[in-house]
Amino acid sequence: MSHAMRFPAFNRHGVLAIYRFEMARFRRTLWQSLATPVITTSLYFVVFGAAIGSRMIEVEGVPYGSFIVPGLIMLAMFTESLSNASFGIYLPRFTGTIYEVLSAPVSAFEMVLAYVGAAATKSILLGVVILATANVFVPVTISHPLWMIAFLVLTATTFCLFGFIIGIWANGFEQLQFIPMLVITPLTFLGGAFYSIDMLPPAWRTASLFNPVVYLISGFRWSFYGTADVAVGVSLAATLGFFLICLAAVVWIFQTGYRLKS
């Protein structure tokens, strides 16, 4: 029994081991992980900000180039969170090295904390880098910095949880790409990343309210410019709701061993 007494209630070393392993993978692929989204985002600024934006009026009192910054950060964060987190758990499933994590004295909570924590760290870093890049092209003001950080962290965590679910569900590399490409990218483009949904005809505006991404982008943009498509409380509630749905799915996965254990 002495051994039982000695095993800590929280496997700190185990969580750190997974976290460090994931961050090491990030460092190895630093170029792809950071440079690609930064270049993509810069292209958006060149096209929408400089070329098209100069001919556009202000949106809700904000110059168009500045207006799209929060949306672009969100777009990059959604994509990168999903791909980082899904890849992080799919790769050991694919190579078979998952056996070690499953046979280790690591609880489901610790496993999610380590994998999702590492993926979220990368996403938040990326968000900050894109924000800095945006600042080079257009003036950016942040009216509510604490809320900005809160939305950033919550969104990164939520989409990393979502990515973790995809990584466990996927049975091939093409399935890893399926949801990000076919669901998230369209929802983001239609979710007000590049425009205010108030600019849409009333019917489309109503339809947009069924798009969960609208609430995420709207809340994040409010933390920058103080203007929003929907009330910020509603945005926050929607973001939290999405987070809880993903969390519930992950709990279910571990309770049933879905796609992890046979």
Residues forming the site for other proteins (CB under 8 A): 3-4, 7-8, 11-14, 16-18, 20-21, 24-25, 28, 95-97, 99-107, 257, 261-262
Q: Specify the residue, 99 or 252, whose C-beta has the smaller distance to other proteins.
A: 99
Among 220, 224, 225, 245, residue whose Cα is nearest residue 235: 220
Based on CB atoms, which residue is closest to other proteins, 56 or 98?
98
Q: Which is nearer to other proteins, 86 or 188 (CB)?
A: 86
- Measured from the CB atom, the residue of 61 and 96 that comes closer to other proteins is 96
Q: How far is the CB of 110 from other proteins (least distance, A)?
A: 10
* Nearest distance, CB of residue 125 and other proteins, angstroms: 21
Q: In the block, which residue shows the tokens 């969390």? A: 247
Nearer to other proteins, 55 or 261 (CB): 261
- Of the pair 42, 107, the CB lying nearest other proteins is at 107
Centre a 10 Å sphere on the Cβ of residue 104 and count the other Cβ atoms it contains: 14
**Shortest approach of other proteins to residue 22 CB, angstroms?**
11
Locate 257 and state its tokens: 């061993």
